[in-house]
Amino acid sequence: MADQPGLTAGGNCQLFAYEVLGLFGLTPPPLRSSELWGDTETTVRVSAPQPLDLLLFNASASAYGAHVGVWAGDDAVLHLCAEVGHPTVWGLADFAARERYRVLVGTKRVIGRSSNTLE
C-alpha cells in the first residue's frame, strides 16, 4: 500500500480500515470504495460478514463514496467516523439510523495476505 499515505498524514474511514486489516496480515488493494466494490482479483463479495470483512455504507445503493468499516463480529463494525472524531464501534442499526450511512451497500472479503501476518 505504498500508494496510500497511511494514517500519519491524517485518516479517513478507508485508510483506517486498511490499517486495521494490515495488522492481521491482510493486504487490501489501494482502491477507492467504488473500485473496491467492483474488484474481483483481491477481494470477493460475501453475503454474510465474518471478522475482518469490509462493509460499505452509503445514503444509496451506490458504492461511489461509500463509508468503509471493518466487521468485528456480533453486530459490531469498527470504523473511523467524522461524526464521532475517533475510531468507534457501531452496530448495523446505528448505521441505518443515519441518513448518510443508511444503506449497507455490501460486504467485501480481502483474499490477499501479506507475508508478515500476526498469528
| Sign of the dihedral defined by the CA atoms of residues 23, 15, 106, 103, in that order | positive
Q: What is the CATH number of the domain that holds 102?
A: 3.90.1720.10
Does 35 fall in a domain? yes
Does 118 fall in a domain? no
Amino acid 72: pLDDT: 98
List the pLDDT tens digit at each of the 119 positions of the chain: 345 445 555 689 999 999 999 999 999 888 999 999 999 999 999 999 999 999 999 999 999 999 999 999 999 999 999 999 999 999 999 999 999 999 999 999 999 654 444 44
Amino acid 11: pLDDT: 81
Report the domain count for the chain: 1
Range of the domain at 67: 10-110
Does 3 fall in a domain? no
Does 19 fall in a domain? yes
What does the block give as the cell for 41? 482479483
Residue 29 sits at φ, ψ, to 5 deg, of -70, 150
The answer to whether the CB of 95 falls within 8 A of the CB of 57 is yes
Does 117 fall in a domain? no
Does 93 fall in a domain? yes
Instruction: State the pTM of this model.
Output: 0.87
The answer to whether the CB of 54 falls within 8 A of the CB of 107 is yes
Amino acid 118: pLDDT: 42
Amino acid 88: pLDDT: 97
Does 4 fall in a domain? no
Does 94 fall in a domain? yes
Amino acid 10: pLDDT: 60
The DSSP line for 58-89 is ESSS--TT-EEEEE-SSS-EEEE-TTTSSEEE
Amino acid 116: pLDDT: 44
